[in-house]
Amino acid sequence: MTRLIALAAKKEPKIICLAEHWLPGRRAELSDALPGVQKLAREFGIWIVAGADFTRREGRTFIESVVFDPAGDEVGRQLKTHLFGLEKKVAKPGSEFRIFDLGDGHRFGITICHDLVYPEVARMFALRGADLIFAPAMIGQDGIGPWHLYLQARSLENRIPIVSPNVLMPPRFRGGSRILTLTSKGPIVYTSFVARGGTSEGVFQAEIDLESAKTYRLARLRDRRPEIYSGLQGN
């Protein structure tokens, strides 16, 4: 992680995001790695979304992402709200959606892996003013195809760019990270994979036009009719 962040920092990014469960070990503790991540954010003067992993406090276990600003200060945490598989037996889900302010007029939210399956999560961030979603993931090889479709769907339906790094732990987890942004041809808006991670360890980067995406997003959200969606409240 230290080596890859140092490598990424040479490209002078504004923000770096790690994958979900990037720490080795079945029940790794993210808190043990946070001082090192915090030091790197301060050293290179960059925002870091520290992926996501297990944390324990007050006798309970969660899966959460921690965000550091360029001064190395922790600015907040996002809990995973939809646990997957065996995670349900060891962790508790979160129920809040945090918006992080980059200080340049842009804001972002974080969906953690399985959260992306549920359209309400990404829509919540879009409605609350997020310009970008980071989606740290741990997707096995068999799930790569559906995962890429979820990324495209959430990006397109909310008109929001998504950055989704996937963990690399062969043979089951083989990367395939993606960065999605939006383009238009006349009135039609498309998603576009502007960066593609391969099946080997590395850094991938893209420059994202957040202002154009915001124009598309505001136009789409303006045409919503929430007064007729009350059925979504049902079980």
Nearest to 6, CA basis, from 51, 34, 48: 48
How many domains are contained in the chain? 1
pLDDT in tens, 68-116: 999 999 999 999 999 999 999 999 999 999 999 999 999 999 999 999 9
Residue 17 contacts residue 166 (beta carbons within 8 Å): no
Residue 224 contacts residue 218 (beta carbons within 8 Å): no
pLDDT, position 58:
87
Question: Does some domain include residue 9?
Answer: yes
- How far, in Å, CA of 24 to CA of 45, rounded? 26
Question: Does some domain include residue 229?
Answer: no
Model pTM score: 0.95
Question: Does some domain include residue 211?
Answer: yes
Distances (CA, A) of 71 to 35, 74, 187, 205: 13, 9, 41, 22
Residue 63 contacts residue 54 (beta carbons within 8 Å): yes
Residue 34 contacts residue 50 (beta carbons within 8 Å): yes
Question: Does some domain include residue 204?
Answer: yes
Q: Which domain holds residue 43?
A: 2-224
Query: Average pLDDT, whole number, for the chain?
Result: 94
- Regarding beta strands 173-174 and 188-196, do their DSSP bridges make them parallel or antiparallel, or are they unpaired? unpaired
Question: Does some domain include residue 232?
Answer: no
- How far, in Å, CA of 14 to CA of 105, rounded? 14
- How far, in Å, CA of 182 to CA of 180, rounded? 7
pLDDT in tens, 160-186: 999 999 999 888 898 999 999 999 998
For residue 156, pLDDT over 90 is answered with yes
Distances (CA, A) of 204 to 24, 75, 195, 197: 21, 24, 6, 6
User: 3-state DSSP: the chain helix, strand, coil percent, rounded to 5?
Assistant: 35, 25, 40
CATH of the domain at 131: 3.60.110.10
Question: Does some domain include residue 59?
Answer: yes
Question: Does some domain include residue 234?
Answer: no
Binned at pLDDT 50, 70 and 90, residue 123 comes out as very high
pLDDT in tens, 37-78: 999 999 999 999 999 999 998 899 999 999 999 999 999 999
Token code pair at residue 188: 């039609």
Question: Does some domain include residue 235?
Answer: no
